[in-house]
Amino acid sequence: MSRGGEFMQDFLKKVFNLGLGVFSVTKEKVEEIVKELVKKGEVGQEEGKKLVNELLEKGEKSRKELEAQIEKIVKGIVERLDLATRKELNELKSEIEQLKEKLDK
């Protein structure tokens, strides 16, 4: 992979991990806030559990949407930069091996 390709891959991994990190921090924060609400008596124990679950489901849905958007963006970047895909590289390797075998005969 070229240096530009490695840079792009590393950059996109960092962006993706940052997004996932935000979601995990949010989960911890949601649980903390709901525990505090239960402790203060502002919501009941069962209501608190339900609230946490609802918020976590929304967070998971948002995470999946973010993941899909990042994947779409990456595919667009790869196409615009006219980078070879792993599949294309593997096909070229196979063709080179076949040509080598023909030359060795």
> In this predicted structure, what is the pLDDT of residue 13?
59
DSSP codes joined into one string, 37-67? HHHHTSS-HHHHHHHHHHHHHHHHHHHHHHH
> In this predicted structure, what is the pLDDT of residue 1?
45
Tokens of 9: 């891959």
Q: Say how many C-beta atoms besides its own lie within 10 A of residue 51's C-beta.
A: 17
Mean pLDDT to the nearest integer, 24-30: 69
Specify the pTM: 0.50
| Cα dihedral 98, 99, 102, 103 sign | negative
What would the pLDDT profile of 49-105 be if each residue is shown by its tens digit?
A: 787 788 778 777 877 888 899 889 988 887 888 888 889 999 999 999 999 999 997
